[in-house]
C-alpha cells in the first residue's frame, strides 16, 4: 500500500526531531559488571536501614516506576497501594522510570537535574568532589544517602541530615563493608572488576549498578520505530495524534530527541500533591539546585518511553491518567479545583502560571478527542523488554 501524505509528513517530523534506531542509543555494555549490578540492585544492603532496595521502587509491573504518586522508601513493605499502608518514608516527588538512563546522550538525571553533564562537565551535589566522570555512576551514589529514600529518619541518622559530602562518604563506606562481607554479591563483583574482595569500594558498586541500569533499561524498538524505519502502519488515531504531537500540540518543542526529552527544564503548573520538596505544598524544582530564580517551578522534561505504564504523572504524581497529564500542559485550570485553594495556594498557582506563560504549551487549545489521539500516539512508544530476554 502506498504511503499517504500524512504518513510521509509524520515520518519526516519524527526524524527531524531526533528519533534514532534504538540500538544506536546503547553504550558499550559489560555483561559481567551488569550481572553483578543486578545483585546489588536487588539487595537491601544498599540501604542504611537494610529494608529497601533499588528494586523496591523500580518495578516491572509499573514500567520501572512504583505506581504511586510519591515514592515510598525506607521502611516500606509491599508494592503499590500496599506499600502506602506500610511505615514507609514518603518522598517529596514521583518515582521516575529508568528507561534509557545512561544511554548515549542521556546525561541529565533526576527531576531537578541535580546530576547534569550536559555542559561536558559534571555538576552535582558533590561539587568538585564528584566520584566519577560518568554521570550515571555519580547518580548511583545519591539514593543510598537520601533521607526517607534509603535512609530511615531516626535519632541514629540525624547526623546525616545536613547532606555533607563527608557524611555521605561514611554511608558509602559502610555499604561497601556490608557488600564485602556478603560473598554472594562480593564474589561476582570482585571478579567483574578484577579486584580482591577487600579492595572493593563503593565506586565499584556504583559502576556495577550503572552497568545493570544501562543493560536492563536500555531503549528497545517501539511501534513508532517500526513505522519510521520499517514501514509498519499506524492506526488513524495514532497518526492523528502524531501529527498533533509534532504540530499544533507543540509537544515536540520539549519532548524531542531520541529519548523524547530535550533533557532541559520547563514549568508546567501541575497541582502540588503532598508536602512538597520545599515544604508546605511547595516545590521549586530546578531552582533548589541552581538558586536561579528563572528556574523556579521548572523540572526536567520526562522521557516518554513506556509512558502509558508509568502512571501517575508529574513531579508530584498528581495526575492519575495520561490524558489528564496532557491536558494539564495546555489547560492547567481544567485540572485544578481553584475553589478549594487557600489564598496562599492561589498565589503560588499564579506564580506557576506566570512561569508557564513562556512555555510552548501555553494556552494551546486541544479538544477531548485530540487528547485521546495524543494518548494513542504516545502508546506507540511502548515496548516489552521481556521479548529481549
Coil vs helix vs strand at 59 = strand
Q: What is the DSSP string of 331-377?
A: -GGGT--GGG--HHHHHHHHHHHHHHTTSTTTT----HHHHHHHHHH
Residue 59 C-alpha cell reads as 518495578
CATH topology of domain 5-24+220-384: Cytochrome Bc1 Complex; Chain D, domain 2 (1.10.760)
The pTM for the full model equals 0.95
Coil vs helix vs strand at 49 = coil
Where are the chain's structural domains?
5-24+220-384, 27-216
**Which CATH number is associated with domain 27-216?**
1.10.760.10
pLDDT of res. 126: 92
15-46 pLDDT, tens digit per residue, is: 999 999 999 999 999 999 999 999 999 999 99
Average pLDDT, the chain: 95
What integer is the mean pLDDT of 111-115? 98
CA angle 373, 60, 256 (to 5 degrees): 40
Beta strand 115-116 pairing with 265-266: unpaired
Q: Does 22 or 168 have the greater pLDDT score?
A: 22
pLDDT greater than 80 at residue 388: no
Coil vs helix vs strand at 115 = strand
Residue 386: band (very low, low, confident or very high) from pLDDT cuts 50, 70, 90: confident
Residue 162: band (very low, low, confident or very high) from pLDDT cuts 50, 70, 90: low
What integer is the mean pLDDT of 203-229? 98
What integer is the mean pLDDT of 206-215? 98
d(CA 27, CA 218): 9
pLDDT greater than 60 at residue 389: no
pLDDT greater than 70 at residue 155: no
55-78 pLDDT, tens digit per residue, is: 999 999 999 999 999 999 999 999
Domain 5-24+220-384 and domain 27-216 have a common topology: yes
Amino acid at each position: 500500500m502506498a504511503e499517504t501524505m500524512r504518513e510521509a509528513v509524520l515520518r519526516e517530523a519524527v526524524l527531524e526531531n531526533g528519533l534514532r534506531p534504538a540500538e544506536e542509543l546503547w553504550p558499550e555494555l559489560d555483561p559481567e559488571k551488569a550481572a553483578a549490578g543486578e545483585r546489588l540492585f536487588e539487595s537491601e544492603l544498599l540501604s542504611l536501614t537494610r529494608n529497601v532496595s533499588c528494586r523496591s521502587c523500580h518495578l516491572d509491573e509499573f514500567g520501572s516506576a512504583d505506581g504511586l504518586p510519591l515514592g515510598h522508601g525506607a521502611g516500606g513493605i509491599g508494592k503499590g497501594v500496599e506499600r502506602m499502608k506500610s511505615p514507609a518514608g514518603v518522598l517529596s516527588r514521583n518515582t521516575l522510570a529508568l528507561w534509557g538512563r545512561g544511554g548515549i546522550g542521556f546525561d541529565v538525571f533526576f527531576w531537578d537535574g541535580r546530576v547534569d553533564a550536559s555542559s561536558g562537565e559534571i555538576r552535582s551535589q558533590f561539587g568538585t568532589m564528584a566520584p566519577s566522570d560518568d554521570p550515571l555512576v555519580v547518580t548511583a551514589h545519591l539514593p543510598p544517602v537520601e533521607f526517607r529514600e534509603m535512609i530511615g529518619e531516626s535519632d541514629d541518622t540525624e547526623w546525616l541530615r545536613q547532606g555533607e559530602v563527608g557524611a555521605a562518604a561514611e554511608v558509602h563506606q559502610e555499604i561497601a563493608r556490608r557488600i564485602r562481607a556478603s560473598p554472594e554479591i562480593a564474589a561476582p563483583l570482585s571478579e567483574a572488576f578484577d579486584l580482591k574482595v577487600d579492595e572493593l569500594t563503593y565506586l565499584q558498586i556504583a559502576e556495577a549498578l550503572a552497568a545493570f541500569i544501562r543493560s536492563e533499561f536500555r531503549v528497545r524498538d517501539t511501534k513508532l520505530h517500526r513505522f519510521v524505519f520499517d514501514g509498519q502502519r499506524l492506526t488513524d488515531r495514532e497518526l492523528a495524534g502524531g501529527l498533533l504531537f509534532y504540530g499544533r500540540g507543540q509537544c515536540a518543542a520539549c519532548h524531542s530527541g531520541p529519548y523524547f526529552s530535550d533533557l532541559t527544564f520547563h514549568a508546567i503548573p501541575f497541582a502540588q500533591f503532598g508536602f512538597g520538596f520545599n515544604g508546605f505544598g511547595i516545590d521549586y524544582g530546578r531552582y533548589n539546585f541552581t538558586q536561579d530564580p528563572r528556574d523556579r517551578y521548572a523540572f526536567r522534561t520526562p522521557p516518554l518511553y513506556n509512558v502509558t505504564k508509568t502512571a501517575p504523572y508529574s513531579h508530584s504524581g498528581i495526575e492519575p491518567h495520561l490524558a489528564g497529564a496532557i491536558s494539564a500542559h495546555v489547560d492547567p485550570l481544567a485540572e485544578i479545583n481553584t475553589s478549594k485553594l487557600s489564598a496562599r495556594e492561589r498565589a503560588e498557582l499564579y506564580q506557576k502560571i506566570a512561569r508557564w506563560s513562556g512555555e510552548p504549551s501555553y494556552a494551546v487549545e486541544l479538544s477531548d478527542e485530540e487528547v485521546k489521539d495524543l494518548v494513542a500516539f504516545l502508546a506507540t512508544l511502548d515496548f516489552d523488554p521481556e521479548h529481549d530476554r
